[in-house]
Amino acid sequence: MTAYAIGLTGPIGAGKSTVAQMLRELGAKVIDADAIVRQEQSRGTVGYSAIVQQFGTQVLGEDREIDRAKLAAEVFADPAKLQQLERIIHPRVVARVLEARSMLPEDAILVVEAIKLLDSPLRGTYDEIWVVLAPSEVMFERLRERGMARAEAEARLRHQRSDEEFRSAATVVIENGADREATRTQVRTAFEAARAMAERGRERRP
| Identity of residue 93 | V
**pLDDT tens-place string over residues 14-69:** 999 999 999 999 999 999 988 998 998 999 999 999 999 999 999 999 999 999 88
| Identity of residue 196 | A
Q: Is the pLDDT of residue 182 over 60?
A: yes
Q: Is the pLDDT of residue 204 over 80?
A: no
**pLDDT tens-place string over residues 114-167:** 988 998 888 888 999 999 999 999 999 999 999 988 888 888 888 789 999 999
pLDDT score recorded for residue 128 = 96
**pLDDT tens-place string over residues 79-112:** 899 889 989 988 888 888 888 888 998 889 999 9
The C-alpha angle 104, 106, 107, rounded to 5 degrees, equals 105
Which residues does 203 contact at the CB level (< 8 Å), separation at least 6? none
Nearest to 139 by CA among 29, 38, 18, 46: 18
- Domains of the chain (ranges; CATH) run 4-204 (3.40.50.300)
